[in-house]
Chain A
Amino acid sequence: MARMHACEREPDVLDALARDWWPNRADDDLRAHVAGCASCTDLVVVAGALQQELAVATDARRLPPADIVWWRAQLRARDEAVRRATRPIAVAHGVAIAVSTVVAWEASRAVAGWAWEARGVLAEWAGQCGASLASFGAGVLARASSGSVLWILLIATALVAVALTPVAVYFAVNEE
């Protein structure tokens, strides 16, 4: 089994490679050592190959200038900042829409039920008193219970809530 410890002369070999002294300008002693040391032979082969690879890679490629990289990073950071700042407002908007929808639905059911009962009472009045005013009121309530006027009012309320909630959130979270 091969030895699992690095040779103590590896730093010397790496130094010679880094200075581009290997093999011609390296000490005879070091060259003799590498010739007989499997670990240092591997080191020369691998480190030498990778250093050549690095030299080619760094010489051959045209990289974007620092100004461009900086500018793109600035733009992206600003975009992210805007997204972060508007996220609570978007969330509040969604919540406001959901709450308004539920409230509108429940309110419409309650008012429709009330109008239905009131129409019955007024119809009874009309039967007893024959008053034309009661008949008129029953007609109005019947239209309201059918939904047109009621829905318009509820939708308008919901829209106002949806529009005002982000503004309220903005003032609530704004520190200045």
Chain B
Amino acid sequence: MVFRMDEDAFRAFYDRTARPLWAYVSRMAGDPQFADDLLQESYFRFLRAGVAWESEAHCRRYLFRIATNLVNDHRWRRRRREVPLPEPGTAWEPRADTDVAGGAERRTDVGRALARLRPRERQLLWLAYAEGASHREIAAALGLALGGIRVMLFRARRRMAALLAESRSGGS
């Protein structure tokens, strides 16, 4: 046995967490292809760390913390402050088989707005509103002090709402 977690437990955990984790890293890194690598790397580091199974939520927070650190490392390596907006037809472009025109346009707006946020704001908003994480869980996943989450989240939300409004009103 190489890891502390056995294969059956891992399979169940993976089935419950892989899709939300992939969605998180793909939106944070801005690159779906790279998200595949990050997904594998996140689970490998999670298994290697031998996290004690306190609860599903605990392991999930740990996994998202690992993924967040990997995304941050990736960004620092590229030495860019913002993840660039991918070209149309790649990351944020809606898929023809899953979307209708209105939804596609709306999600393109969301992708553009996300891309214009600071990385930390993206992470906060995604964890809070896509993942439904509590402030405590967000603090644990991002390695932030619990006390500052509320204000940071409020500011990030206001900024994204303004970007969405700007995008939908035809601004750049």
Interface residues of A (CB under 8 A from B): 2, 4-6, 14, 18, 39, 41-43, 45-47, 49-54, 56-61, 63-64, 66-67, 69-70, 72-74, 76-78, 80-81
Contact = CB atoms under 8 A, between A and B. Distances in A.
Nearest to A74: B2
A2 B151 CA distance: 12
A25 to B, nearest CB: 19
A59 B98 contact: yes
A56 B107 contact: yes
B19 A46 contact: no
Chain A interface main SS type: helix
Given A46-B160, A53-B110, A76-B44, A70 B98 contact: no
Interface in B84-127: 94-95, 98-99, 103, 106-107, 109-111, 113-114, 125-126
> Which interface class (under 10, 10 to 19, 20 to 34, 35 or more) fits B?
35 or more
B107 A73 contact: no
A103 to B, nearest CB: 41
Contacts of A73: 3, 40, 43-44, 47-48
Interface string B138-161: 000000000000110111011011
A81 B113 CA distance: 44
B68 interface: no
Contact of B110 (A43, A52, A77): A52
A77 B47 contact: yes
A-B pairs, top 6 by smallest CB distance, nearest first, are: A57-B23, A42-B161, A47-B129, A66-B14, A58-B19, A54-B130
B102 to A, nearest CB: 11
A60 B19 contact: no
A137 to B, nearest CB: 65
A66 B26 CA distance: 19
A5 B154 contact: yes
B43 A52 contact: no
Given A53-B110, A57-B23, 9 more contacts: A4-B155, A52-B110, A54-B23, A61-B26, A64-B40, A67-B11, A72-B44, A73-B3, A73-B48
B66 to A, nearest CB: 13
Given A69-B40, A70-B7, A72-B44, A63 B125 contact: no
Nearest to B39: A63
A72 B40 contact: yes
Contacts of B36: 63-64
24 contacts: A2-B158, A5-B154, A6-B154, A42-B161, A46-B160, A46-B164, A50-B110, A51-B130, A52-B103, A53-B27, A53-B111, A56-B94, A56-B98, A58-B22, A61-B26, A66-B18, A70-B10, A70-B14, A72-B40, A73-B3, A73-B43, A73-B47, A74-B3, A77-B48
A172 B2 CA distance: 24
A70 B7 CA distance: 7
Interface in B39-64: 39-40, 43-44, 47-48
Given A52-B110, A53-B107, A53-B110, A63 B19 contact: yes
Contact of B23 (A58, A67, A70): A58
A102 to B, nearest CB: 40
